[in-house]
Structure 1
Amino acid sequence: MQNVRSLFFALAAITVFAGLALFTVSLTLAVGGILTALMVGRALSLKMKPQPVRARANSQQNMRIWNDGRGTIIDL
């Protein structure tokens, strides 16, 4: 009878320990997910939005176009 009671207590302790470990892991993942979502949201909100650049060519100067090997350059 003593062995059955000891076995029951051991199994109960293992079950409680496994449950607490599972709860800890799930809580850690939940907090990590929330922090990741907040960091992504902040990164996206701080991302600079491109503004259009208004450029006009002067009619007095000639437009120069050349290729420097990395791309075509147009000098207005």
Structure 2
Amino acid sequence: MQNIRSIFLALVGIAVFAALALVTFSVTLTVGAALTVLMAMRALSLKAKPAPIRATVRKNGHRQQGNMRVWNDGRGTIIDL
């Protein structure tokens, strides 16, 4: 009788261990999938094309005449005629 009880307790212990391992694995997969989706969304949102920036100089609503300005804003050379 003692031998049967020991075998039963060992099988219950193995079953509990397997169940906990399965829960841990499924939670790990769920968290990994969520992080992967978040990283993909972030990567796609960073690739969005920025809005263009106006490169002309205006004073009082009109373009200045005769002053040509050239400058580099870090994204390319701008020539304002």
| Normalised TM-score (structure 2) | 0.62
Q: Deviations over 1:14-55 (max 9, x none)?
A: 000001111101111111111000001111112524423413
Query: Could you list the runs of 5+ residues in structure 1 that have no partner in the other structure?
Result: 60-76
Q: How does 1:1-76 map to 2 (within 5 A)?
A: 1-46=3-48, 48-57=50-59, 58=62
Report SS of the residue matched to 1:46: coil
Percent identity of equivalent pairs: 20
The CA RMSD over aligned residues, in Å, is 1.8
Q: Which runs of 4+ in 1 moved over 4 A?
A: none
| Normalised TM-score (structure 1) | 0.66
* Bigger mean CA deviation after superposition, 50-59 or 31-40: 50-59
Q: What is the identity, as a one-letter code, of the residue corresponding to 1:7?
A: L
Tell me the distance in 2 between the aligned counterparts of 1:37 and 1:31: 10
User: How many residues end up aligned between the 2 structures?
Assistant: 59
Tell me the distance in 1 between the aligned counterparts of 2:43 and 2:52: 18
Query: Could you list the runs of 5+ residues in structure 2 that have no partner in the other structure?
Result: 65-81
